[in-house]
Every structure is written in C-alpha cells, then in structure tokens.
Amino acid sequence: MADKNKFDLIVVGAGPGGYVAAVRAAQLGMKVACVDKRPRLGGVCLNEGCIPSKALLDSSEYFHLASEEFAAHGIGIGPMRLDLATMMARKDQVVTDLTDNVRKLLVNNKIEIIQGTASLAGDGQLKVGPPSGKGRKKTFKAGAIMLATGSETISLPKLTFDKNYIVDAGAALKFESVPKHLGIVGGGYIGLEIGSIWLRLGAKVTVIEMLPHVAASTDSQIGRRLERLLKKQGMAFELKTSVTSARVKGAKVEVSMEKGGKSAKASFDKLLVAVGRKPLTDGLGLKNLGVDANKETGRIVVDEKYETSVAGVYAIGDLVEGPMLAHKASAEGVAAAECIAGRHGEVNYDAIPSVIYTAPEVASVGLTEDQAKAREIPYCVGAFPFAGTGRARCMGLTDGLVKLVVHSQTDRLLGAHIIGPRAADMIAECVLALEFGASSEDIARTVHGHPTFSEALQEAALSARACSIYAS
C-alpha cells in the first residue's frame, strides 16, 4: 500500500514560484504536495504585493483621469467623490478570485495542499506543524524538497512597525482613509508605486531616499525622467537623506532625518518603510541541516539545477540570488521542476524584465547604458520620444521615451528601457528580442501597427541602427 505521506516532490511555499513549480512537476508525472501556512494560496505577491497594489494603482488612475483628464476629452461628470471602501473591496475581491484560482489549479493537477509551517528534518523528511508554529508536527517524506518561501519586508532598528502609523507595504494597501501626508522611506519601486496610489487619491506624498536618485536599479536617464515626471505630479523627494528615528506622537509620526551632515524633522500622518526585502527562511531549519547561505545577503546558495548544498533540497525565487520578482520565481520554479524530473531546465537571467507601475510606467530588460559602459562594451543608443507617435498624441500620453542599448559592432540588442504608456506590455517584445539574440535591425524591419505605442520602439531601433552602421 502506498504511503500517503510520501511524495516525489514537496514544495514549501505557494507563491508564484512554489505553485508554478508544483504544477510543472505534476505535469511531468510526479506525485506532488505543496505546503503553505496561509489559508489563501498565492504568497505575498497575490495576497499583499503585486496583485493588490496593481488593483489599487488601476483604480487610483481611473480616479485621477476622471478628476483631471476627462474634461479635455469633452467628458463632464460633475463633482468627484471617492468611495475608498468600495475601491478596497474591489481590490480584495480581485485578490480572492486569483487566490481561489491558484487553489483550483493545484487541485486540478492532483497536488496535495498542506496548510502549516514546514521545517527540514533531513533524509528527505519534512516536518509540518500548525500554521501558528506551535503544536504537534506531522512528518512527510519526499525524493526532493523545494523551498519557495519568498521574502519579507526589511525593518529598520529605529522604525518599528505598528501596523497603524509606521507601516510596511501590506498595511499601506489597507488604509481606511486617505492620509493627508504620507511619508515613504525608500525610493524603490514599492515606495514609488504605493506613493502613486495615495498621491492620485489626494494625499501629499514625500519620498525619503538615501541615494542621490530614486529607482536606482533603472537606467540612469530613465530614472531621472521618472523622478521629474513624478515631481510634476506633486510627489516630493528628499534625496541623499537618511531617517535616523521615528516616533508616534498623538496621531502623527515625527521623523528625524539627516542630510549633508545637517539634522531635520518632518511630520506625517502615516510613514511607509519600503527599504527592501530579505529572504524568508525563519523556521526552515537550514542551519541545522547544513544548507549553505550567503552570509551577507542571507540568500541560499544553489547550483545550476537549483539544488542546495544538501542533496535533494532545492531553492528558488527570493530565497536565491537575483531580482526579487514574481516572474523570475515562476521561471525558476519551472526550471527546477524540470531538473528534478531529469530534464534540462534553465533561466536566461539576461532576459528578465522589470517594471515599475507608476504613471508613466517604467519597464526594462537587459543592460543599462551605465552597465554597458562599465563593462567596456562598445555600444550605441537609439531613442525615440512617445511625443513623436500618433497614438500617444491621440491619447494625450506623450511623456516618456523608448531607449535601446545595442552593440555597436554586431548591432545585437543589449538592453531596452521604456518610460511611458503601456511600457509594462511593450517590454515583452524586447524580452523576446533579447532571448533570440535579435539586432536593432531586426526590430526596425519588423512592421509595427499604426498608430500604436510600439511604433516608438521601431523608431528607437531605427535610430540605434543608424548609430551602429556608422560606428567606427
């Protein structure tokens, strides 16, 4: 009689990396279980991050358009009224629908769902206890165990989260009213996206960033353009500034800052701390089992098959090196499952897109101009503004540009960076071009529909092509 507690693969974590890995493994004929402590599957991305933030970004953009832009199109709708409770309810329903779909996906693929907290016990064993972490544990066995527990918000010593005034991103997506003044510590994509939501809904927003510019991981030209456009929208920035402490006083958060050796203070209704994320490994028993991790980053060390230093234990997603992106985790989940099944699975890390869902959107893939310069790669740049496209003119969305970085001697595409309307979708063409080793000429000769935003990409490719042809 088969042991019901024995599997070919047990995946720990049901986020975008874990549930995708579980499904792919099941498709390859494995008996699979997926463990997660949440009653709702989908991980941080579906429950607290990617999905709820995008739902509110879309809702807040509609509100902004109705308030500020519709009149120019000859649409008059009378006095505007914000029903934040309905907006939040819609966001919650979107999350519920998608997390329910994840559960159905696992069930339909005959994957056993186990709710609880998991810890490695060695020899292919996994102990799973109640979600609270307290109580009797049950032992499961598997030929392979894949860790996909994701990441958690980094907290700062003197900025203690209280879920009400000093908050993380998850709490900032659940405010019951629009704060009069929202302070944000950290100018990365999380802070800028959440700041955009509340700015559009009427809040004053101030971003405090230690670096000299926001969106530091983007191409520097694109990042500067984004900063200017967000300032134009009303977002304020305190750059080269560090927060030394914060305390709640009455119904305000009093913040102490330091800039250029000088001290300053500020007062906010809410303070969002968004300085990054770290691997979520607490309670997994990695040290006891001898799983190697990077001492500086806490990331688990894996080989090309995503296997850790302990045979039969694998790790993917935010737990391992690379950008903390849901689609990167999903790609690794598929690749790792295929490796476990004895197939060849890999991820092209040079072709993983990243997106900032502000307005305008920012999307990038491949090398930035700064990176090409630092690596001493001969390159040239082709760029084209959205203001030059008919579609952007028709829609009144002319801010931004497309920028391509290409090898000046081979014309091969090295990187693509877009700031403007529909950038999140347009970048897919560039990802495919990178994946196939396309040149700027390939993109330039591809017929693009007219009038479309993607024509800016074609024009940028034509510009880059001219550069590479005449490069010495």
Spatial separation of the C-alpha atoms in residues 86 and 359, rounded to whole Å: 22
pLDDT at 78: 84
Asked if the model's pLDDT at residue 283 lies above 80, the reply is yes
Calculate what percentage of the chain has a pLDDT beyond 70.
99
What residue type is assigned to position 88 of the chain? M
Q: What is the mean pLDDT of residues 28-57?
A: 95
pLDDT band at 472, cuts 50/70/90?
Answer: very low
CATH class of the domain whose range is 6-152+278-349: alpha beta
pLDDT in tens, 131-184: 877 788 899 999 999 999 999 999 888 888 998 999 999 999 999 999 999 999
Give 234: exposed, middle or buried? Use CB within 10 Å, 0-12, 13-18, 19+: exposed
Tokens for 392, please give them.
């952007």
Per-residue 3-state assignment (H helix, E strand, C coil) for the chain: CCCCCEEEEEEECCCCCHHHHHHHHHHCCCCEEEEECCCCCCHHHHHCCHHHHHHHHHHHHHHHHHHHHHHHHCCCCCCCCCCHHHHHHHHHHHHHHHHHHHHHHHHHCCCEEEECEEEEEECCEEEEECCCCCCCCEEEEEEEEEECCCEEECCECCECCCCCCEECHHHHCCCCCCCCEEEEECCCHHHHHHHHHHHHCCCEEEEECCCCCCCCCCCHHHHHHHHHHHHHHCCEEECCEEEEEEEEECCEEEEEEEECCEEEEEEECEEEECCCEEECCCCCCHHHHCCCECCCCCCECCCCCCECCCCCEEECHHHCCCCCCHHHHHHHHHHHHHHHCCCCCCCCHHHCCEEECCCCEEEEEECCHHHHHHCCCCEEEEEEEHHHCHHHHHHCCCCCEEEEEEECCCCEEEEEEEEECCHHHHHHHHHHHHHCCCEHHHHHHCCCCCCCCCHHHHHHHHHHHHHHHCCC
Question: How open is the CA angle 60-233-323, to the nearest 5 degrees?
Answer: 70
Name the segment(s) of the chain with CATH classification 3.30.390.30: 360-469
- Selected catalytic residue, list 64, 344, 448, 450: 450
Instruction: Please report which confidence band the pLDDT of residue 470 belongs to, taking 50, 70 and 90 as the band edges.
Output: very low
Find, among 258, 217, 222, the residue nearest to 238 by Cα: 258
Which amino acid is present at 330? S
**Mean pLDDT score, 272-278:** 95
Tell me how far apart the alpha carbons of residues 315 and 33 are, in angstroms, rounded to a whole number. 16
**How high is the pLDDT of residue 135?**
80
Q: What is the pTM of this model?
A: 0.94
Letter for the amino acid at 75?
I
Render the burial of 341-370: b for 16+ CB within 10 Å, e for the rest.
beeebebeeebbbbbbbbbbbbbbbbbbbe
pLDDT in tens, 202-214: 999 999 999 999 9
The phi and psi torsions of 107 (rounded to 5 degrees) equal -65, -45
| Stretch(es) of the chain classified as CATH 3.50.50.60 | 6-152+278-349, 166-275
Tell me the average pLDDT across 400-417. Answer: 96
CA distance 143 to 141: 7
Residue 450 is among the residues annotated as catalytic for this protein? yes
User: Please, are residues 47 and 95 in contact by the beta-carbon 8 Å criterion?
Assistant: yes
Q: What is the pLDDT of residue 65?
A: 94
Q: Does position 83 have pLDDT exceeding 90, yes or no?
A: yes
- Predicted confidence at residue 468, as pLDDT, reads 57
pLDDT of 316-361, one tens digit each? 999 999 999 999 999 999 999 999 999 999 999 999 999 999 999 9
CA 329 to chain centre: 10
- For a pLDDT cut of 90, what percent of the chain falls above it? 92
What pLDDT was estimated at residue 4?
Answer: 82
Tokens of 441: 């000429």
pLDDT at res. 79: 87
Task: Using the predicted structure, report yes or no on whether residue 465 has a pLDDT greater than 60.
Answer: yes
Q: Is 3.50.50.60 the CATH classification of the domain at 166-275? A: yes
Mean pLDDT, to the nearest integer, of 296-325?
96
Per-residue confidence (pLDDT) for residue 118, from 0 to 100? 95
Structure tokens at 213: 């510019």
Looking at domain 360-469, its CATH class is alpha beta
- Over range 281-289, report the average pLDDT: 93
Q: What is the pLDDT of residue 2?
A: 60
Chain centroid to CA 88:
21
What is the tens place of the pLDDT at every residue in 107-124?
Answer: 999 999 999 999 999 999
Q: What is the mean pLDDT of residues 454-465?
A: 94
Nearest-CA neighbor of 357 among 154, 4, 57, 21?
57
